[in-house]
Amino acid sequence: MFLFLIPVPVLLAIFFTPFMSTLVRYRANYEPRNVQLDGENSQPIVDGYFSMLKRIYALEGWEGLYKGSLCWLCIQFLLYYLYSYLFLAVDYLVHAILPFRFASTLLFIARMLYSLAVGIPTSVVLYRAVCTPYVLPYFSPGIALSVLLSPTERRKPWKLYFTPGLLILHFVLNTPVKAIETSGTLVWHTVAGGHLALYLVAVLLTSVVLSPLPVMIIRLSLQRNHDYYDDSDPLISRPRTEGELAAHYGLRQYCNDSVIGLRDEDDPYTSLLDCFNRMLHEESWRVFYRAYWATFFGQIQWLLYPILYYKV
């Protein structure tokens, strides 16, 4: 009975955070198998989602599996409560005033703008909180954000939206989702009309195209934006990298070993095409389909309503 008193986002955070954390780090793990690095290649090679889950637990314990839980809880509140109630009211008002065609178009644009405006900065902070090797203080969000965001990103937060390729990827990934949300009855009636198998095939084919996108989103979200200064500028001596900022605030590491490998912060992806080409040539095409099943199951969540309501 007590569980019903706990808000849904809290329950989701408690149950799903270890799986979300593992998924993010599995997709973020940099494994340059096809290039020769300077010195010995110490990047961890992890073959499979559950191998990553075991590695996280072995090195960091439950504390490591619940990294980013507070960030994810905040995102769940934004997406579950604010988003749901906001667009429930907006949907009612817009459809009461405008014809269906214009109302659907306007709602689609509004959903996209909201998801981009809120989704990009929150996902950047979440992915970095999950992948950081440093223990962030739960009750000092200012210090945590000071480590997760570069000095440039704190001074110019709009830089997050201009991380090379990130805005395009979020737009492409969210377009089919927001389209289904806006005209979801079309999907529900199609499934209820006996076309479940056809819909699953369409989702499977769509997943093949969409699966590389969240992988690249995570890689680009971990890439910090910097302003570079010459040797005479006093700002050059200030802490800039994640490690320097963590040392400045006296944060400890979870463990001495690296759970995942990350690209050198001073060798960033310069564009979406550069990100794709480097990942392809350095890590092979398989990196784009890490945990591809998560993308597939993320899309078939729309089947829950017709299955329960129409009893297909």
Residue 93: how many other CB atoms lie within 10 Å: 11
Range of the domain at 183: 2-33+47-310
CATH number where 233 lies: 1.50.40
Residue 39 lies in a domain: no
pLDDT of 55 higher than 50: yes
Taking each helix axis as running N to C, give the angle between helix 212-221 and helix 272-283, from 0 to 180 degrees, rounded to the nearest 10: 110
Secondary structure element (H or E) that encloses residue 277, with its range: helix 272-283
Confidence of residue 193 (pLDDT cuts 50, 70, 90): low
The stretch 72-84 carries a mean pLDDT of 72
Residue 40 lies in a domain: no
CB 65 within 8 A of CB 56: yes
The residue among 32, 21, 119 whose CA lies nearest residue 63 is 21
Q: What is the pLDDT of residues 278-290, one digit of tens each?
A: 999 999 899 999 9
What is the tally of structural domains in the chain? 1
Residue bearing tokens 């979300």: 20
Tell me how far apart the alpha carbons of residues 21 and 70 are, in angstroms, rounded to a whole number: 12
Distances (CA, A) of 202 to 265, 293, 296: 39, 14, 10
Residue 42 lies in a domain: no
Residue 238 lies in a domain: yes
Residue 98: how many other CB atoms lie within 10 Å: 14
Tell me how far apart the alpha carbons of residues 75 and 9 are, in angstroms, rounded to a whole number: 9
Secondary structure element (H or E) that encloses residue 177, with its range: helix 166-182
- Backbone angles phi and psi of 163, in degrees to 5: -60, 130
Secondary structure element (H or E) that encloses residue 74, with its range: helix 69-76
The stretch 163-173 carries a mean pLDDT of 89
Res 191: pLDDT: 57
Residues 51, 68, 217, CA angle at the centre, nearest 5°?
A: 75
> What type of residue sits at position 135?
V
Residue 289 lies in a domain: yes
Q: What is the pLDDT of residues 17-51, one digit of tens each?
A: 899 999 999 999 998 876 555 544 556 778 889 99
pLDDT of 11 higher than 50: yes
Residue 38 lies in a domain: no
| CB burial of residue 140 (10 Å; 0-12, 13-18, 19+) | exposed
The residue among 28, 217, 245 whose CA lies nearest residue 130 is 28
The residue among 66, 67, 69, 44 whose CA lies nearest residue 55 is 44
Residue bearing tokens 């395009």: 168
Q: What is the pLDDT of residues 81-124, one digit of tens each?
A: 676 677 667 776 776 676 766 777 777 777 788 888 888 998 99
Residue 41 lies in a domain: no
CB 18 within 8 A of CB 65: yes
Using DSSP's 3-state secondary structure scheme, residue 114 falls into helix
Residue 85 lies in a domain: yes
Q: What is the pLDDT of residues 214-266, one digit of tens each?
A: 999 999 999 998 876 555 555 566 777 888 888 888 888 888 888 898 888 87
pLDDT of 146 higher than 70: yes
